[in-house]
Amino acid sequence: MKIIITGANGQLGRCLQDVAERYPDYEFKFKSSKELDITSKEQINSLFAHEKFDYCINCAAYTAVDKAETDQENAFLVNAEAVKYLSEACKTENTTLIHISTDFVFDGSKTTPYTEEDVPNPINVYGASKLKGEQYVQNILEHYFIIRTSWVYSEYGHNFVKTMLRLGAEKEELSVVNDQIGAPTYAGDLAEVIMKVISSKATNYGLYHYSNEGAISWYDFAKAIFEIKGMNIEVNPIPSEAYPTPAKRPINSELFKHKIEKIFPKNIKFWMDSLHKCI
């Protein structure tokens, strides 16, 4: 089994490197953005023509949600056009693509968790670019897994947990929005789920939702981070209007995970347990 991972130095890519050590029978090729520019069709085609891969895990993405509002061209280049190039190469070389997408393809107006059958309606450029990438995968490939996830954090890179710990070391009081609801996802758990999909050799291709269990607000998330670290930080709940950002966020982006639980049986960890592990 030969597997290529794009965006290898990102949060999920780094966690996949950790998980890969438990799969000595598989050959992994980890490619950072410097080693493989997925926005270059030539680089992708050249690599796939010279090496045959059973799976491609696309962890590369433009994830600067607010910056994307004024950098639309680059957001769509990385999250959509580059995904098209990867999909075309995977089709030519008979490689199964595992593509990571986002809860931000939804507008957040639903009051219950989003299923794979719900119609996407992104309310920011980032979400729109990720949806376009999904559509390329679905239109080009038959052998693919799209996994939508939410609120990803880890020991690596830039994320909410690390930002809170940094701010908590600098300040005694913070204000965090409490009216946006979703589920944190530990990238280490997501990496394990991806390897479960691959090791099962399943052909149940299509779209899946995955996050850790439980639905909370960013305020709840921040409180839990400081509680686990034993940091005495006063966290004040505020509405989204009190913390305006260039990109609108969905009010509810909780994902319904019954499909992935049924087809790839694996105990989905509660968000607090995974947060403990990460911290």
Instruction: Supply the residues annotated as catalytic.
Output: 126
DSSP the chain: -EEEEESTTSHHHHHHHHHHTT-TTSEEEEE-TTT--TT-HHHHHHHHHHS--SEEEE------TTGGGT-HHHHHIIIIIHHHHHHHHHHHHT-EEEEEEEGGGS-S--SSPBPTTSPP--SSHHHHHHHHHHHHHHHH-SSEEEEEE-SEE-SSSS-HHHHHHHHHHH-SEEEEE-S-EE--EEHHHHHHHHHHHHHTT----EEEE---B--EEHHHHHHHHHHHHT---EEEEE-GGGS--SS---SB--B--HHHHHHS---PPBHHHHHHHH-
Give the residue among 102, 158, 108, 98 at the shortest CA–CA distance from 127: 102
